Structures are given as structure tokens and as C-alpha cells.
Structure 1
Amino acid sequence: MINTIILAAGQGTRMNSKVSKVLHLVGNKVMLQHVIDASDSITDSIHIVIGHNSDSIQKVINNNTINWVYQKDQLGTGHAVQQALPNIKDGSICVILYGDVPLIKTSTLKILIEQAKNSDFSILTVIQKDPSGYGRIIRGPSQLIQSIIEHKDASESELKIDEINTGIMAIRGSLLKKYLNQIKPNNSQGELYLTDIVEKAVEDNVNITSLICDDSSEVMGINDKNNLAEAERAFQLRQVKGFMSNGLTIKDPSRFDCRGNFTFGNDCIIDTNVILEGDNEIGNNVTISSNCTLKNAKISDNTIILSNSIVEDSIIGTHSTIGPFARIRPGTNVGNHAKIGNFVEVKKSSIGNNSKVSHLSYIGDSSVGNDVNIGAGVITCNYDGVNKHQTVIEDGVFIGSNSQLVAPIKIGKYATIGAGSTITMDVPSEKLTLSRNKQTTISRWKRPKKK
């Protein structure tokens, strides 16, 4: 049986935030959820030790399968793990993880667990160029681990050691209980250090195996907003490598963010400063130009999203063009071979096949048919101050520039609206409809002169 204990009781004062440290986001997912996800598939039960902001943590995670353990007083990592011991069986393997170390991989934990099954005790370490602030791994002449010394308690020679303790370990439940009951707060902080169980195990001649983590970002602890930004970039680069390995072209991996789930077809290109949020899907031969944001969008084959455009909770058909500087708001469905041009906003509307809204227009709460051409500056006036109303534009309609369509209204098939019109009533099919004041020229008028 595999038990996972995740420590998440700390206050995280260096984050300078009212939000619990483990609830800060990496890749738009709270750090604690990252740790849960990494361990969930390889563990039989998860026990999370909480203290500060415990109610908010439980509310955000909202997982009925988790056993929540409350630590009233924060007296060190050893004390935190002690709170979960009543739930741990002697013969089980217990994995110790941390809610503020979000990038640990499932594959790494699998290896650590297998080692612990063979030796009863395995520790995850990493070689750190700058080990300041971290506990050092003390090895004997045969290179076996002898102890772990915390930075603040280390001697000058021990501080030169670059192999550090990540805090992550897998240990037989019976040993964990035995040694946690033996340790004492013999340190400058007066706390119970989990790492002190290593020395106790050495005294009992327990064979402590170790796994050196190749990727230091995996075991990066988050203490402040600087660390949080570093973790975010490390997470994004990890994702980018996977995407590119599967055929996605990303122009600059350092300027790409995926904060959710992303699937893509063949021969897709993503330019710089693109942000993906939520669940996004793009088909084959799709190009996302620079400075675009997609949120819960589905982009079909051979479509181009031009620069500085936003597509949110919407579906875009095949061979279509969006942007530049277009905003596609939730509830929009754009058909095939359609064009939504620069500075066009579309909200909760359907745009038919081969239809064009080329520039400077607002289409809201509308049903636009096939082969429709909407000129520049056209506005659907869908809101009367209280309720939203529907505009229906049937197939083949041509709407001249700078027209206003006051909903509720229906424009019949192949109708033409003259430029500059304000249309307040339904328009018949195949007719020209316009609404303009008569043009007048005043012959005796003279332009005023500046006094």
C-alpha cells in the first residue's frame, strides 16, 4: 500500500498575500493541486496536513477522497508528519511531499517508491549550484547517506556541499513511526525536523538509498513571488518541450503560456506572446499569430488567427480568418471560409459560411447567415437598457458601412442596407432599404474665421 502525505500547513509569510501559499497558481492551477495530480495515480490514499487558511484550502481543492489532517501548531516538518501517523499502516510505503513544491513528476515518484520497496527508505536529492538555504546531504566514506544538516545548523565545511535535501522521501510506515517518535527539537529553531530521522535510521544500519533528481525545477520550493515566477516559466518550458516533440511549431518557447489543456493537429504554428487558457483545441494547419489569447476555444483546420486577437468560449470553422485586433466573445460560432476583420467584436452570435465582417463593427446576439457582407462601422443595437434582443441577418445580405440595426429585427435574404442607415423595422428580402436625411447644400454659408 502506498500512502502520500502532503505538507501544506505553512503560512507562507514571504508571499505577502492573504491567499495561502499552496493556493497560488502555476499554469493557472493551484500549487497544491499540481502535487495531488502528480501523486494521485500512484498512491492508495492522500493525506494533506493543513493549518493556516485550512478552510480556504479545502474549499478550493474540494476532493472527497483526500484525508485532511489539521496541524494546530506549526512545530516543524517532523511535527507535521506526526499528525498524519494515525492513518499510516506499518507495512505501507509512505511518500512525503510538499504543497509548495508543485513541479514534481509522477515518473520521479515512481522510481523513488520502487527504491523504498527494496530498501525501506529512499531520499530524493538534487545537485544545486547555489545550495544556500537548503539542507545538505552528508555522506560517509562509502558514499552512503549519513545525515542531513539544515543550512542554519551547518558548519563551514558542510555549507560547501552542493548536494541538497529536497525533503521528498519514501519510507516504510513502521520506520517512519519509529524514528519520528525518537527525534527531538535539537536545533536553533526548537522545531522537529523530519530530516533528523535519517540519522536515526543510519544508527540502526538501515540502508538508505537516494535518487538524484536530474531536473532541479522539479524540486523547486516556492517561498516568494520571485520563486513563483521561476516555477511558472519552468512549467511552461516543460510543456513547450512536450508540444514541440509532438510536432507543434512554437516560434519562441520563452514567450508562450499554456494555462490549461491543449490539443493540436499537424503543421500548426504559434507565434510569440500567445496565451492559452482553459481547454483549447486547434485542428490541422492552424496559425496563431503574435499576442493572441485563446480561452476555451476550438479552431478548425486551415484557419488563421491574426495578431492581437482574443477568442473566448467560441468555435471557429475551417479556412477562416480572425483579426487582427478582433475580439470573439463567449457563445460565438464562426462558420467556414468566414472573415472577422480588424477591430471587430462578436458576442454570442453565429456567423455563417463565406460571410465577412471586415472591420470596425460590433455584432452581438445575432444570427448571421451565409454569404453575408457587413461593412465597416456596422453595429447591432442589441440592448435596450434592460434586455438583450436578437438580430437575424439571412443569407446573402449586404449591409453598407456605418449602419445601425436596432434589435429585435430581421433582415431578409439578399437584402441590401444602404450605408449610414438606422434600421428599426424588419427588412424584406431582395430589396434596397435605407434611412437617410435628405442631403442639403447651403450656398450662402461661409466658414467662420478665427478672431
Structure 2
Amino acid sequence: MTNQDFAIAIMAAGKGTRLKSKRPKVLHEIGGRALLLHVIAAARTIVPAEQIYCIIGHEADQVRASVTHTGVSFVLQAEQRGTGHALQVLKADFELSGKTPPENLLVLSGDVPLIRPETIAAVRDAHLREQAAMTILTAVPDNPHGYGRVLRRKEDSPEVLSIVEQKSLTPEQIGAREINSGIYCFNTRALFSKLDALTTNNAHGEFYLTDVAAMLVAEGRRVIAVKAESVNEVLGANTIAEMMHLDAAMRLQNAHRLMSEGVTIFRPETCVIDSEVTVGPDTIIEPYVQLLGATQIGSDCRIRSYSVIQNSTLGDAVTVRNGSILDSAQVADKAILGPYCHLRPESNIGEGAHIGNFVETKKVTIGKGSKANHLNYLGDAVIGAGVNVGAGAITCNYDGVHKHQTTIGNNVFIGSDSALVAPVTIADGAYIAAGSCITEDVPSGALALGRARQTTKPGWVARKKSRNSTQS
């Protein structure tokens, strides 16, 4: 089979009224990504992006802008009149563009984010193997109420007799538990030959794709069913509560994926782990950790409870102590962070560096083995190797209009409670005395003091108390 023999259409035109949200349904997020992006990612493992047709409608421009980077094609369903109408629009798009339709077309739902590539491939392979006109992905939930039921010709037969909606089930059929997922694979020619025959003779006045199954069965064409391994794979979400159910299922799935790769996760049900996160073996993740976005964590790390790491890269043997927050940061091997540090975007922490409690960094490079252990703000700075930044020392990088850079060389000692007013350079090996306000460059090996001379007045306290006593 070549790519030209097979394409995927993704239904993504619906509004999602029951969500009561301004956002299009398919752009709501679970597992750190929009529903539609999850479906596209699964589809792209089966066919190239240019063979994926995203059928959009409600807030079409917003949906297009959110997923255009994936390279998929878009088809506009300006008026949403059902699933059958969506494929009528796709058929018309092929005719208008003059493109040759694929021999087979697999239809996915843009709001069914847990569908696995393996399941899509299983539907495709069964469809081709059985030479079917239509293949239906099904599932068997504990409670099938409300779903259309798939009735097979025989219990052990792949062939489908009909799809019956809940309200149309007879007393003999009410016990049927196999449901229609809304995911199909078609022989495209067979599908397109039936689309114009669809009617809106139903309660919602829409064109239903399920009616194609009845037409094909009546014509004697082969319609088969393939069961999904998990019901979660075919579940959509019509309410925020249902969305969060899918989110919990996906995040637990992400945790189990990482554990299967050698990561220890204590209490995985308490952790929030996005789908793109990668973690190396022998790393330990404690309860109540959040790993978000495209975060990458190396091997032999320990991420302690209540830390939040987003779009950041950590090397091997990194320790992140409790309550630390990292956002778009880069951390080299063996660094120690926290507790309660805050690494903001463009923070680059060197090998073996220590960033301690209540230290905030932004747009800073910190060299190998350097330490800032207590109560610092380090922004717009380049800090060399072997530097010690004392408690409370800060870089003053903003003059009210512009940001300026502080440059600190290797093996510099910054005394506690010092303020380095940028732009300023502290050369290799220099010392800054505690409590200094540094406004000029400091040469290599020099000691810089920038503070008022201390004045001590012996007996001042006793004299003050005496005066106060006399006045009272």
C-alpha cells in the first residue's frame, strides 16, 4: 500500500455547546495539548501530514492557526450539518481541486484524543485484509447507555448487520454492549457513491455517516467491525467534567509509559505529566510533581515534591528540591536546585551549579560549579565558573526603561547583600565586600567596596533611654 492509497479525515468542525466555553471544542486541552493536536499526532504516525484532511468549521480561523504548524490540509465545513455532511464537503473539495481521492479514507474525530496509533493501524489493516467497503471501530464499555450499538451478523463474525441508535433498540437488542465509536475506514469510492443519498430524516435534521453503513449492508457490500483494546481510546468529551476524566486517564497513561522506561514515580496519580515529556531511566519523581510541555529530564535525577517544570531540559543526575519552579530553563548535569527556587526563561545553569532556596534567575548563564544558595535575584547576567554569590546579592538589571547585562568572571566572590548595578563587569577572581552597591567595573583580583563607612557611638543606647525617661 502506498500513501496515495490511504488518507485520513479528522472531524473538527463542531462547536461543543455543552462545554459552555468560547474556545472551539477541539482546542480544549488535555495532557498539555489541544484535543485536535493529540489526534493529528496519532494520525501522522500512519500517513504523512499532507494526507491528513482536517475538516474545520466553528471558529475555523482559530483552529487553523492553532494546528497549521503540523502541515495538515484543511477543508472548510462552513455550515455544520452532521458527520455525513462533513464528508460531502470533503468530496466536493476533491472535485473542486481536481485532486484524485485516495483509495481508502479513515475518519477520525478531533475530540477523541486517546486514540492510539496502534489502533488506527489495526483498523486500517483489518479494512484492507477483509477487503471491506466500511470498517467500524467499536468498544465495549461497562455502561453502553446513550451510544449507538453495533450488531454483528454472528457473535464471532467481523461482519456488521446494522448500527442501531439507543432510542431505536428493541427489547431483544437492549442488552447489546458493543458501541459505535464514530471512527471508520471506508473504500472511498463506495463512500462517495452513497453521500448524495443521505437524508436529514432524523431528530436533529442532520446528515449521519452511520446511514452509509445501512446502505452498504443493504447493497451486499462488506461492512466489518474492529474492537478497540480500551474504551478510553474512543471516548470523546461533551462537558468539562468528561474532559477532565480524559485528562486524568491520559496523564496516568503518560506516567505508566515513563515507568515502563525505568522511571520511578511515587504516587503517579498525584503527578501531572504532559504527553511530550521525556524522562531518562533511574530518575525518581516524588508525589505532586508537575512536568509540563516539552520538558526533557535526563537519567539519575531526583525531582522532589511540589516542583513544577515546564518546557525545560535537565541533564543527568540533577536534583530538584521541593517546591522549585522551572520555566524554559536549561540545566546541566549534577546541578542542584532549590528548594523553592524559580528559574525563569533563558536560565542556563551549568554543570554542578547550586541554585538554592528563594533564588530567582532570568536570562542568565551560570557557569560550572557556581553557587547562589540564598535569596538572590540574578537577571540578564553571564556568570562564570566557580563563583560564589552570597545571600541576598542581586543584579540590578533594569533602569526603568532598558535591561542591562551584568558580567561576572570565573572564581569571583560576591559578598552577601550586594547590589550589582548593570551594566557592570566583575573580572576573574575579584571580591565584592558584603553590603556593597557596585556601579563601576571591578578588575581581576581586586576587592571592591561600595558602602558607607560605619560609625559607632559607644553608650548611645543608655543616653537615649535616659533622655526618654527624663521627658516622661
The question of a shared fold, defined as TM-score above 0.5 by the shorter chain, is answered with yes
* SS in structure 2 of the partner of residue 440 of structure 1: coil
| Of 175-184 and 100-109, the range deviating more from structure 2 | 175-184
Q: Which residue of 1 aligns with 2:264?
A: 249
- Equivalences for 1:301-450 in 2 at 5 Å? 301-434=316-449, 435-441=451-457, 442-443=460-461, 444-446=463-465
Residue deviations 1:235-281 (CA, integer Å, cap 9, x gap): 22222222111111111222233335333333111112222233333
Contact 1:350/1:368 (<8 A) preserved: yes
2:65 alignment partner, one of 35, 59, 83:
59
Supply the distance in 2 between the matched residues of 1:294 and 1:403 (Cα, whole angstroms). Answer: 29
| Structure 1 unmatched ranges of 5 or more | none
Supply the distance in 2 between the matched residues of 1:385 and 1:285 (Cα, whole angstroms). Answer: 43
| Of 340-349 and 114-123, the range deviating more from structure 2 | 114-123
Supply the distance in 2 between the matched residues of 1:282 and 1:43 (Cα, whole angstroms). Answer: 30
Change (3 A) 1:36 1:431: closer
Supply the distance in 2 between the matched residues of 1:314 and 1:280 (Cα, whole angstroms). Answer: 9
* SS in structure 1 of the partner of residue 107 of structure 2: strand
* SS in structure 2 of the partner of residue 301 of structure 1: coil
For normalisation by structure 1, the TM-score amounts to 0.92
- Measure how far apart 1:303 and its partner are: 1.7
Supply the distance in 1 between the matched residues of 2:72 and 2:335 (Cα, whole angstroms). Answer: 46
1:126 alignment partner, one of 136, 139, 143:
139
| Structure 2 unmatched ranges of 5 or more | none
- Equivalences for 1:79-228 in 2 at 5 Å? 79-86=85-92, 87=94, 92-117=103-128, 118-120=130-132, 121-140=134-153, 144-155=159-170, 157-228=172-243
Change (3 A) 1:445 1:432: farther
Q: Which residue of 1 aligns with 2:287?
A: 272
Supply the distance in 1 between the matched residues of 2:410 and 2:12 (Cα, whole angstroms). Answer: 59
Percentage of identical aligned residues: 38
Supply the distance in 2 between the matched residues of 1:353 and 1:73 (Cα, whole angstroms). Answer: 60
Supply the distance in 2 between the matched residues of 1:63 and 1:438 (Cα, whole angstroms). Answer: 62
Change (3 A) 1:150 1:324: same
Residue deviations 1:112-155 (CA, integer Å, cap 9, x gap): 11222223221111001122221112234565422112224434
Change (3 A) 1:149 1:332: same
Supply the distance in 2 between the matched residues of 1:48 and 1:298 (Cα, whole angstroms). Answer: 32
What number of residue pairs does the alignment pair up? 450
Contact 2:376/2:392 (<8 A) preserved: yes
Change (3 A) 1:236 1:185: same
| Of 216-225 and 189-198, the range deviating more from structure 2 | 189-198
Supply the distance in 1 between the matched residues of 2:412 and 2:375 (Cα, whole angstroms). Answer: 18
Change (3 A) 1:37 1:300: closer
Change (3 A) 1:100 1:343: same
Supply the distance in 2 between the matched residues of 1:427 and 1:90 (Cα, whole angstroms). Answer: 71
Supply the distance in 1 between the matched residues of 2:194 and 2:247 (Cα, whole angstroms). Answer: 36
- Measure how far apart 1:424 and its partner are: 2.1
Residue deviations 1:184-216 (CA, integer Å, cap 9, x gap): 333222322211222222222223221111111
- Aligned-pair RMSD on alpha carbons? 2.4
For normalisation by structure 2, the TM-score amounts to 0.88
- Measure how far apart 1:157 and its partner are: 4.9
- Measure how far apart 1:342 and its partner are: 0.2
Change (3 A) 1:90 1:372: closer
* SS in structure 2 of the partner of residue 124 of structure 1: strand
Change (3 A) 1:138 1:414: same
Change (3 A) 1:431 1:191: closer
Contact 2:397/2:405 (<8 A) preserved: yes
* SS in structure 2 of the partner of residue 324 of structure 1: coil
